[in-house]
């Protein structure tokens, strides 16, 4: 097998898995990471209320980004965050999910799509008339995702960011 943390960008997320192992395995990772966030947010809604759902979702994202079992070296929180938002803001998430796909497809860079989406997400939540605390919560989640993309931003700046498609001969 391939140690995904030693191949491609070294990130265990769906984009790197797609690049290194192909789209089928990348989609599997995307679905599982999204489910992680969705299950946590859904549990919060079932047990308590929207604030609890955000708290449970934030815990899932933090656990994904900073997993104890991997010495705090995890993913970037995009898919797990998408799962949280799918539960809490399905319409906004569906629209932004399509936008993410189109942006990543045409730019060839998942990081560009992810950074644009987390920047636009709070506006989408605000336009739906949600309370200010929810807008602030989506800003906080977006900031965490942006912080996890600092290396990508550097590579983008220097025009060295990896393309989304599978890299031949990398495995």
Q: For the segment 64-114, what is each residue's pLDDT rounded down to a tens digit?
A: 999 999 889 899 999 999 999 999 999 999 999 999 999 999 998 999 999
Q: How big is the chain, counted in residues?
A: 171
Alpha helices in 22-158 (DSSP H): 23-47, 50-65, 78-88, 90-107, 110-127, 132-148, 150-157
**Of residues 36, 120, 43, 121, the one with CA closest to residue 79:** 36
In this predicted structure, what is the pLDDT of residue 166?
54
Buried b (16+ CB within 10 A) or exposed e, 32-53: ebbbbbbbbbbbbbeeeebeeb
C-alpha to C-alpha distance for 60 and 57, rounded to whole angstroms: 5
CB 109 within 8 A of CB 156: yes
Quick one: pLDDT at residue 9? 86
Sequence ranges of the domains in the chain: 9-157
Q: What is the pLDDT of residue 80?
A: 98
Mean predicted confidence (pLDDT) in 141-163: 90
pLDDT digit string, tens, across residues 112-129: 999 999 999 999 999 999
Q: What is the pTM of this model?
A: 0.91
User: How many of the other CB atoms lie within 10 Å of CB of 165?
Assistant: 11
Q: Is the pLDDT of residue 163 over 90?
A: no
């Amino acid at each position: 097998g391939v140690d995904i943390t030693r191949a491609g960008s070294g990130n265990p997320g769906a984009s790197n898995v797609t690049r290194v192992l192909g789209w089928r395995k990348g989609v599997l990772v995307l679905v599982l990471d999204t489910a992680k966030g969705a299950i946590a947010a859904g549990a919060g809604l079932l047990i308590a209320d929207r604030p609890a759902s955000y708290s449970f979702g934030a815990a899932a994202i933090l656990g994904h980004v900073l997993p104890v079992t991997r010495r705090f070296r995890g993913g970037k929180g995009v898919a797990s965050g998408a799962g949280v938002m799918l539960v809490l803001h399905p319409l906004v998430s569906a629209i932004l999910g399509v936008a993410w796909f189109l942006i990543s497809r045409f730019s060839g860079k998942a990081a560009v799509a992810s950074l644009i989406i987390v920047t636009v997400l709070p506006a989408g939540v605000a336009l739906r008339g949600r309370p200010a605390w929810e807008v602030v919560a989506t800003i906080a989640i977006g900031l965490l995702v942006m912080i996890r993309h600092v290396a990508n931003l550097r590579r983008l700046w220097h025009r060295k960011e990896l393309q989304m498609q599978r890299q031949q001969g990398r495995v």
